[in-house]
Structure 1
Amino acid sequence: MMVVVAYDVNTETPDGKRRLRSVAKTCMKYGQRVQNSVFECFVTPSDYLILKHDLAEIMDEMCDSLRYYNLGSKYASKIEHRGRQRHVPVDGVMML
């Protein structure tokens, strides 16, 4: 299933900057960055639970924000895009 993860991490402190890097690194394990703080993650239901748990362990709920958009397995018709694409479509063919 496709899950979009969007986050806003307060980076006014060194600890906040560390959390920001940790959130991005964790999201990269499950998907690809499509905007600065937005990842498209193609995950199984169990991976989704692990991803949410791992991110909850990193974030500071008093000053950070995480949003999850579960687009399901038929996500292709739910995504519209305009402009330069920063990623390779998950189900697209990659040629080298």
Structure 2
Amino acid sequence: MYVILVYDAGEKRVGKMLKLCRRYLNWIQNSVFEGEITEAKLQQLKYEAANIMDKETDSLIIFKTRQEKWLEKEVVGQERQKLDNFL
């Protein structure tokens, strides 16, 4: 599946969340990630994120689609991290 993940975490936890999410997805802008991921890896990511987060103040939002081709993406301005597919 293809996901877009957005998080909002307290200042002390932002770095840990960034490192965690970069292990699973492509970092595209500050607290925003996207990419292909299996259901099992997504569950692992959510489990690890829950251990970092303060559930009273932090949030993790995940948008899912079956494939990237079903998602129309438009970038206005400078794209921070271009996604290239190398074989």
TM-score by length of 2: 0.84
- Residue 76 of structure 1: how far off its partner (Å): 2.5
Taking the aligned partners of 1:34 and 1:69, their CA distance within structure 2 comes to: 15
Matched, 1:31 2:33: no
How far does the alpha carbon of each residue in 1:29-48 deviate from its partner, in whole angstroms, 9 at most, with x for none? 01111111111132111101
Report which of the two structures shows the higher radius of gyration computed on alpha carbons.
1
Q: Percent identity?
A: 32
Alignment correspondent of 2:2:
2
Letter in 1 for 2:70: S
Give every structure 1 segment of 4 or more consecutive aligned residues whose post-TM-superposition deviation is greater than 4 Å: none
Aligned Cα root-mean-square deviation (Å): 1.8
How far does the alpha carbon of each residue in 1:27-71 deviate from its partner, in whole angstroms, 9 at most, with x for none? 000111111111113211110110111111110011111111112
Structure 1, gaps ≥5 residues long = 12-16
SS of aligned partner of 2:62: strand
Does the 8 Å CA contact 2:8/2:60 hold for their aligned counterparts? yes
Taking the aligned partners of 1:79 and 1:4, their CA distance within structure 2 comes to: 12
* Equivalent runs, 1:8-47 vs 2, <5 Å: 8-11=8-11, 17=12, 19-47=13-41
TM-score by length of 1: 0.77
Taking the aligned partners of 2:7 and 2:85, their CA distance within structure 1 comes to: 29
Alignment correspondent of 2:80:
86
Letter in 1 for 2:64: N
SS of aligned partner of 1:6: strand
Number of residue pairs aligned between Structure 1 and Structure 2:
86
Alignment correspondent of 2:68:
75
